[in-house]
Amino acid sequence: MTTSPISPSVSVADITAALTAIVAGELAVPAADIHPDTDLRAVQGADSVKVLRTIAKVEREYDIELEDEEVFGASTVGEIADVVYRTLTTS
């Protein structure tokens, strides 16, 4: 398990779990159906606005600003979790 040197209690797994809950709430799908390799834009009912709203909630959850290039370059839950982790550990 990868752990942030800046926030030792935050791991990629923690971020993935939090992100899964946010995605499930925003896209109105069961959390059990969301996996690290789930492509957010491919989830039924998802659209670009809902995905962006998910990103906004993640930014609020971790008090971070994600770069648009990274946000739009990430597709899956796992990829977004990695972006969040990198931001937390390098900011």
Dist CA 45 CA 90 (whole Å): 34
Which of 56, 75, 76, 79 touches other proteins by CB under 8 A? Answer: 56
Q: Does 52 bind other proteins (CB under 8 A)?
A: yes
Decide whether 2 or 48 has the Cβ nearer to other proteins.
48
Query: What angle do helix axes 48-62 and 12-27 make, rounded to 10 degrees?
Result: 140
Of 12, 61, 1, 60, the closest CA to residue 36 belongs to: 12
Q: Does 24 bind other proteins (CB under 8 A)?
A: no
Under rule CB under 8 A, which residues in 62-91 are in contact with other proteins? 63, 65
Q: Nearer Cβ to other proteins, position 59 or 70?
A: 59
Q: Are 58 and 84 in contact (CB under 8 A)?
A: yes
Sign of CA dihedral 77, 83, 86, 91: negative
Nearer to other proteins, 14 or 59 (CB): 59
Q: Which residues bind other proteins (CB under 8 A)?
A: 49, 52-53, 55-57, 59-60, 63, 65
